[in-house]
């Protein structure tokens, strides 16, 4: 069992004597705070923070981080306050411990909501001090090592969270050693049967591979020695979760994945790395398109290495990574290497810390525009899985984008304003659609226009968190402004029926109504009415002193002033797919909480249940001279003959109507039914289309819906 003496020995290899003794004091403080508390395994609770601190000591973390690890649960699980920690160990340690602690004072409706809030708090604390996540990762690693004492359901939940969030964060921060262990432990707990089968397969295959690996390693070492390149050559075992992921994502068999032989060549300098590439390419033929230079263009997490794939002996592919010793240390320790190198006096060589800061800055930007913690968590998850492509701006700057990114994602990567106002794109100097997927090496120029705004359809193809969160923010603000406008129209309509107008409302009455409903100001009230969360007639009555109105006007019928609908109101006036009303149809509006007004055809069967609830109706009518087009259904029964679909589609197009969808149902050998969704201007336009179709000899019957 790991002890305080083990921790002191590990930390003593790089910390001063005074700091090591202070660690003992922090351990005693934690032990007193957790006295009487037990882990699920039955052991004393203090063993957990001690092991967490030990993991961080092995990574050569600084004194404050080790103390924070020893105390990381005292705020959450004991009566100890943050001020007590500040008093004994200083402000820095207190802030670290607080950043790692969960939100325990707030109750949430669901576990997902609580997880999202906790995750957001942790990332916000990371923005102030990145050591918070290192303590959290070490905490999660020790929890994963001791999962066996938990129930199967809890093991699965924690393992899924580890694979979805914590292992990708470790990868993003370049901490390869922790990432690999988190993935292995998570895989074993989440898919125990698959883990056992793969373990057995790897053990069985290892004996057959040993001889081949030794031959390839010997050949590589001999050739490098001939070229006078001092190098260390090691064979790499593919880790189990990596094998499983490749099999799962690419549909490969175990032998197809495991027959790739992996080697790492470690040399003394970056120049030697490139010489070594030429040497191994002379020894074995390289596979075209498989050379990747992550030294010149590092990954987002600061990872650097040269990667190449070779046609090896016996027809087997060989994966080779070439890097310096220093780069190899950073690849294993990631951002933790910042503190290791800082102690050695050459922290300027480590770019991982800077890249982690840049990633955190993007996270903070996402936080400011995310609608809620769960949306924020979703955005971060998107950002944690980047298989990168590298794109050039017109000025030659390289932008790293996740695989599958589109021109719109690229526009937002340059700047939010560029994304919000983009209208077109030139890819390698050729105009292309905004939804075009980008590939490495392309030169991309974004075309903007001052009055342009984000399109809701962009959410169907954008993949980066920054693009999606900013598009959603714009749509949210647009929806709210439209709701305010609609709310004002609805209130005005009700007030006019009562013989007054919104502009004539007594300010005292308005303040009284706002206070009763606990609303901040008039715009919030109007927005609530527009969204259907408050009933317009009720608010109108509260905003007027009815006793002062003329009796005749108070008794005017509700049908006298219908609300006019243009069809272009947008997000708070909805047209359902059940009846697809078009201008000229008799319509009814229904106020629905959160959706504003939903417009139905008066004959729609879906509104039957509401007919006995007139308080939810609102009289509406189409505005004259509507220029928009509206979708509607038509059903055409035809004789089953060659070319009949093309004939009907041609007639519809000749009448200026667009076909947005078509379905075909065979009735029997002789007849079939064609169901079209077409876009028309109004009932007259639809009647012209149907008249022309009815005149076709193959059409036996035509109807709407």
d(CA 133, CA 361): 15
Which class for 576: exposed (0-12), middle (13-18), buried (19 or more C-beta within 10 A)?
middle
Helix (H) or strand (E) holding 32: helix 17-33
Q: Helix, strand, or coil here: 237?
A: coil
Sign of CA dihedral 224, 230, 235, 240: negative
Q: With both helix axes pointing from N to C terminus, report the angle between 131-145 and 152-161 in degrees, rounded to the nearest 10.
A: 150
Tokens 């230079």 -> residue: 293
Quote the Cα angle for 171-173-174, to 5°: 60
Q: Helix, strand, or coil here: 572?
A: coil
d(CA 629, CA 643): 28
Tokens 């700091």 -> residue: 19
Write down the H helix ranges in 35-130: 47-58, 63-71, 74-77, 82-89, 91-100, 111-128
Q: With both helix axes pointing from N to C terminus, report the angle between 111-128 and 373-383 in degrees, rounded to the nearest 10.
A: 60
Name the residue among 624, 548, 636 with its Cα closest to residue 584. 624
Q: Which residues contact 584 (CB under 8 A, 6 or more apart)?
A: 622, 682, 683, 684
Per the DSSP assignment, residues forming a β-bridge with 318 are 261, 310
Q: How many H-runs (helices) and E-runs (strands) does the chain carry?
A: 29, 21
List the structure tokens of 118: 């906790």
**Active-site choice (6, 76, 113, 227):** 76
Q: Helix, strand, or coil here: 646?
A: helix
d(CA 444, CA 312): 37
Which class for 430: exposed (0-12), middle (13-18), buried (19 or more C-beta within 10 A)?
exposed
* Annotation marks residue 76 as catalytic: yes
**Active-site choice (6, 77, 329, 682):** 77
**So which residues are the catalytic ones?**
76-77
């Amino acid at each position: 069992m790991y002890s305080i003496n083990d921790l002191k020995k590990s930390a003593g290899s790089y910390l001063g004597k005074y700091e090591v003794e202070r660690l003992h004091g922090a351990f005693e403080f934690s032990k007193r705070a957790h006295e009487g508390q037990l882990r699920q395994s039955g052991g004393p609770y203090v063993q957990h923070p001690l092991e967490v601190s030990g993991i961080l000591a092995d990574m050569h973390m600084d004194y404050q981080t080790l103390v924070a690890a020893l105390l990381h649960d005292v705020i959450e699980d004991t009566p100890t306050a943050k001020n007590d920690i500040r008093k004994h160990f200083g402000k820095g340690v207190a802030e670290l411990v607080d950043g790692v602690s969960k939100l325990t004072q707030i109750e949430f409706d669901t576990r997902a909501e609580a997880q999202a809030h906790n995750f957001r708090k942790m990332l916000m604390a990371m923005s102030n001090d990145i050591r918070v996540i290192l303590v959290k990762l070490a905490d999660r690693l020790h929890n994963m090592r001791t999962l066996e004492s938990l129930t199967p359901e809890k093991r699965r939940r924690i393992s899924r969270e580890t694979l979805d969030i914590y292992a990708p964060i470790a990868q993003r921060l370049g901490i390869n050693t922790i990432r690999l262990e988190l993935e292995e432990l998570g895989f074993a707990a989440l898919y125990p049967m698959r883990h056992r089968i793969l373990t057995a397969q790897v053990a069985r295959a290892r004996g057959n591979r040993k001889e081949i690996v030794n031959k390839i390693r010997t050949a590589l070492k001999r050739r490098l020695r001939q070229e006078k390149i001092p190098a260390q050559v090691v064979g790499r075992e593919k880790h189990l979760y990596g094998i499983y992921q490749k099999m799962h994502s690419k549909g490969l068999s175990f032998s197809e994945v495991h027959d790739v032989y992996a080697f790492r060549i470690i040399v003394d300098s970056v120049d030697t790395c490139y010489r070594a590439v030429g040497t191994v390419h002379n020894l074995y033929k390289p596979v075209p398109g498989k050379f990747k230079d992550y030294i010149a263009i590092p990954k987002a997490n600061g990872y650097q290495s040269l990667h190449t794939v070779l046609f090896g002996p016996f027809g087997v592919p060989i994966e080779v990574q070439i890097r310096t010793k220093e780069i190899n240390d950073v690849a294993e320790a990631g951002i933790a290497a910042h503190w290791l190198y800082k102690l050695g006096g050459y922290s300027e060589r480590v770019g991982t810390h800077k890249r982690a800061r840049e990633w955190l800055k993007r996270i903070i930007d996402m936080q400011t525009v995310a609608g809620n913690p769960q949306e924020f968590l979703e955005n971060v998850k998107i950002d944690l899985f980047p298989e990168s492509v590298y794109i050039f701006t017109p000025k030659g700057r390289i932008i790293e984008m996740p695989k599958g990114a589109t021109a719109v994602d690229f526009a937002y990567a340059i700047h939010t304003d560029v994304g919000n106002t983009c209208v077109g794109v030139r890819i390698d100097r050729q105009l292309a659609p905004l939804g075009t997927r980008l590939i490495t090496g392309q030169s991309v120029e974004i075309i903007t226009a001052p009055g342009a705004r984000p399109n809701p359809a962009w959410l169907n193809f954008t993949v980066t968190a920054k693009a999606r969160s900013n598009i959603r923010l714009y749509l949210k603000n647009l929806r709210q402004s439209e709701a305010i406008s609609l709310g004002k129209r609805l209130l005005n309509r009700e007030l006019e029926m009562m013989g007054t107008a919104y502009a004539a409302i007594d300010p005292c009455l308005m303040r009284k109504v706002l206070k009763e409903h606990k609303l901040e100001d008039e715009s919030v009230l109007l927005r609530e009415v527009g969204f259907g969360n408050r009933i317009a007639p009720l608010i109108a009555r509260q905003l007027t002193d009815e006793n002062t109105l003329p009796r005749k006007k108070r008794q005017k019928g509700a049908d006298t002033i219908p609300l006019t609908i243009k069809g272009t109101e947008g997000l708070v006036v909805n047209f359902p797919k059940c009846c697809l009303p078009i201008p000229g149809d008799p319509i009814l509006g229904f106020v629905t909480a959160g959706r504003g007004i939903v417009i139905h055809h008066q004959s729609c069967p879906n509104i039957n249940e509401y007919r006995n609830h007139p308080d939810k109706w609102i009289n509406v009518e189409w505005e004259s001279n509507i220029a928009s087009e509206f979708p509607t259904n038509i059903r055409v029964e035809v004789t089953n003959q060659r070319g009949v679909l093309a004939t009907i589609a041609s007639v519809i197009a000749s009448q200026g109507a667009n076909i947005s969808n078509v379905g075909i149902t065979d009735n029997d050998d002789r007849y079939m039914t064609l169901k079209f969704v077409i876009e028309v201007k109004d009932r007259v336009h639809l009647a012209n289309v149907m008249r022309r179709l009815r005149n076709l000899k193959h059409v036996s019957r035509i109807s709407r819906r």
